[in-house]
Amino acid sequence: MSGLLDAALDYAGRGIPVYPVHWPRPTPGVAILGCSCRRGTACDRPAKHPLVRHGLHDATTKPAQLERWWSRWPAANLGLATGVVFDALDVDGPAGLAALRKLAGAASLRLPGPLVATGGGGWHYWFRPTGLGNRPPRGLDHVDWRGRGGCVLAPPSRHARGGHYRWLVSLDQAPLPGAPAALRALLDPDQPTTTRPARPAGPGAPAAPGHPYGRTVLAAELAALGRATPGHRNRTLNQTAFKVYRYVAGGLLDEEDVTAAFSEAALAIGLEAAEVARTLASARTAGLANPRTVPAGLDPSSQEAGA
Ligand SMILES: [Zn+2]
């Protein structure tokens, strides 16, 4: 079962928060697979609901926590929080695929990015985060969007129907594409906007966590990364993230928020996911070993406490 833990650590290394989910378990004398929860074959969401109390809100990129979870539940399925490093288009079986093909035919829609077969007969197309929450695309039956506050199961999780979630196009084979405009238009609430303003901080915004000084540093370094020119992007990612992780070590910022914010920003300027994960891991190690805190005389926290 180490494949599940290895996969969890790989997702976390890419900045994707992971949490453990129940798994399909054979029941003596029963042909179908039950759920690993107490309800067994009577479970109404077999092998799809979380093992931890707060579900996807407990999702983490911290390796030590993932090792604890998968040592306690070695067969646990992998739940990933969407809306941080990626959003997913959830296509539920042939009916969903037919609806999607119709849209693709009408709008010259191409879906060139990472793709998962779910093990239950559906597909997940992965995209860069849109900032949108979970919602069905208007007019597309049997198709759903998983964004902020959402989750998907990921390879190599097992489906209660017996199949495995598996990559048809892996994260190393294709970069995360932006959501195509034709699809985006079906997701936006009212107006057909296809872009949104860049957020200064990560997925925590607008109620960004962390010390005000830490948030200022994070915003400045993300802005510097956004200005990096081709040929300098990976080095700039390393330099800017290193600076910010030093303030994580100093207790001013949350590590997961910083990782998520830099992952999103780095993918947005065109860096490749595996490269981003490697560079961030290196910057994190170096930064966490060199803590910094608010410079003397510059501590605004007393004024802003409770603000
Ligand atoms: Zn269950």
Q: Please give the pLDDT value at position 303.
A: 42
Rounded distance from Cα 32 to ligand 1 centre (Å): 14
Sheet holding 77-81, edge to edge: 18-21, 77-81, 151-154
Rounded distance from Cα 233 to ligand 1 centre (Å): 45
Q: Please give the pLDDT value at position 190.
A: 59
Rounded distance from Cα 270 to ligand 1 centre (Å): 40
Rounded distance from Cα 42 to ligand 1 centre (Å): 8
Rounded distance from Cα 60 to ligand 1 centre (Å): 22
- pTM for this one? 0.62
Q: Please give the pLDDT value at position 20.
A: 98
Rounded distance from Cα 44 to ligand 1 centre (Å): 7
Q: Please give the pLDDT value at position 281.
A: 87
Q: Please give the pLDDT value at position 2.
A: 63
Q: What DSSP state is assigned to residue 92?
A: -
Q: Please give the pLDDT value at position 297.
A: 64
Rounded distance from Cα 14 to ligand 1 centre (Å): 29
Rounded distance from Cα 8 to ligand 1 centre (Å): 21
Q: Please give the pLDDT value at position 204.
A: 41
Residue 161 identity (one-letter amino acid): R
Rounded distance from Cα 45 to ligand 1 centre (Å): 6
Measure Cα distances from 50 to 41, 126, 276, 277, 290 in Å: 16, 21, 28, 26, 36
Q: What is the pLDDT along the chain (307 residues), one digit of tens a residue?
A: 469 999 999 999 999 999 999 999 987 787 788 999 999 999 999 999 999 999 999 999 999 999 999 999 999 999 999 999 999 999 998 899 888 888 887 777 778 899 999 988 899 999 999 999 999 998 888 999 999 999 999 999 999 988 999 999 999 999 999 998 888 888 876 544 333 334 444 444 343 467 878 888 888 888 888 888 888 889 999 999 999 999 888 888 888 778 878 877 787 777 877 788 889 889 988 998 888 887 776 654 444 433 3
Rounded distance from Cα 23 to ligand 1 centre (Å): 8
Q: Please give the pLDDT value at position 224.
A: 87
Measure Cα distances from 25 to 56, 177, 305 in Å: 22, 36, 49
CB 71 within 8 A of CB 2: no
Rounded distance from Cα 171 to ligand 1 centre (Å): 29
Strand partners, 145: 89, 135
Rounded distance from Cα 21 to ligand 1 centre (Å): 9
Q: Please give the pLDDT value at position 188.
A: 79
Rounded distance from Cα 29 to ligand 1 centre (Å): 18
Rounded distance from Cα 127 to ligand 1 centre (Å): 29
Omega before 94 cis (within 30°)?
A: no
Residue 111 tokens read as: 């879906």
CA-angle at 254, arms to 265 and 302, nearest 5°: 115
